[in-house]
Amino acid sequence: MPSLKDIKKRISSVKNTQQITKAMKMVAAAKLRRAQEAAVAARPYAEKMHTVLSHLAMREEAEAHPLLNQRGTRRALVVLMTADRGLCGGFNANVSKEAERYIRRNEEGYDAIDLMIIGRKGRDFLKSRLGDKIVKVYENITTDATYKTAQLIGEEVISKYTDETYDAVFLLYNAFQSAIVQNVTFEQVLPIKPDDSMDINESAVDYLYEPNRAVVLGEILPKMVEVQLFRGLLESNASEQGARMSAMDSASRNAAEMIGKLTLQYNRARQAAITTELMEIISGAESIK
């Protein structure tokens, strides 16, 4: 049985841990509010652009722009978005496991499936499992991601697609639903194609291009890729903060429960020690008589 000193030391240790988890919960809650507002604000623009581009992709020939050209399934790139830090429950593990499952299920259908990972934790999780498929890792960009960040990543992705390094590019991230619910989301980024649920009659109307079709497509199609990546970064950041807040809240409650149990154990051990001392005193007094 542990001594009173050991129990008291453990109680102090758990209380210190509880203070840390409470502080982390408060910080995550403050960051969550800003991240959630940014993610929600970006959704209407991203969804409307997706609708417009789906109409264009349905109407235009593949030869109209390289990003519309579907070349088959020779090589694919999966852009995985995770966090740079842990202590956020299953946030990193869930999306990383989904990436591993997708590659294991589909690697026979492609000549190769490579990984571009955003976030240190995704790299750490998959390094021993799919280390040979990781071609690029971005670190320390998820928390303060800007559109410029998404633009730079988008330019790299587009370059690898247009020079035929890859025939398809996919995006995998956690979409924010609430502080306790994050949905693992898998989307095709390239080639840009019509939404499967879209009625072909919806695109029957013709568009007028100004100054001309090539210039408009050359501007708007790359921007669609950048917007998808930017939205993914915002959704992933909001999901990370929500998951961390929820995890730290759970850790704080578990610490409080543990402190209660240890305090009870300490009081019982202290009571037993006092009882033992009293019995020894009484026994000694009786022996003197």
3-class secondary-structure state, position 1: coil
> What's the confidence (pLDDT) of residue 206?
67
Say how far apart CA 150 and CA 9 lie, in whole Å: 48
Mean pLDDT per block of 10 residues along the chain (289 residues) reads: 84 93 93 92 89 76 74 87 91 94 87 92 91 90 86 93 90 92 92 68 62 80 91 94 94 94 90 81 74
Q: What is the pLDDT of residues 129-170, one digit of tens each?
A: 888 899 999 998 887 888 999 999 999 999 999 988 898 999
* Rounded Cα gap, residues 16 and 3, in angstroms: 20
What integer pLDDT is reported at residue 205 of this predicted model?
A: 58
| Segment 59-74, tens digit of pLDDT | 766 566 788 877 777 8
pLDDT score for 81: 95
Active site members: 88
- What homologous superfamily does CATH list for 28-246? ATP synthase, F1 complex, gamma subunit (3.40.1380.10)
Q: What is the pLDDT of residue 257?
A: 94
Q: 144 to each of 36, 125, 166, how far by Cα in Å?
A: 13, 22, 29
Dihedral sign (CA 241, 151, 207, 162) = negative
Instruction: Tell me what pLDDT residue 164 has.
Output: 86
Which class does domain 4-21+247-288 fall in?
mainly alpha
pLDDT at 1: 64
The pLDDT, as a whole number, for residue 63 is 66
- What does pLDDT average to over the chain? 87
d(CA 42, CA 40): 5
Q: Break the chain into its structural domains and give their ranges.
A: 4-21+247-288, 28-246
pLDDT at residue 214, rounded to an integer: 77
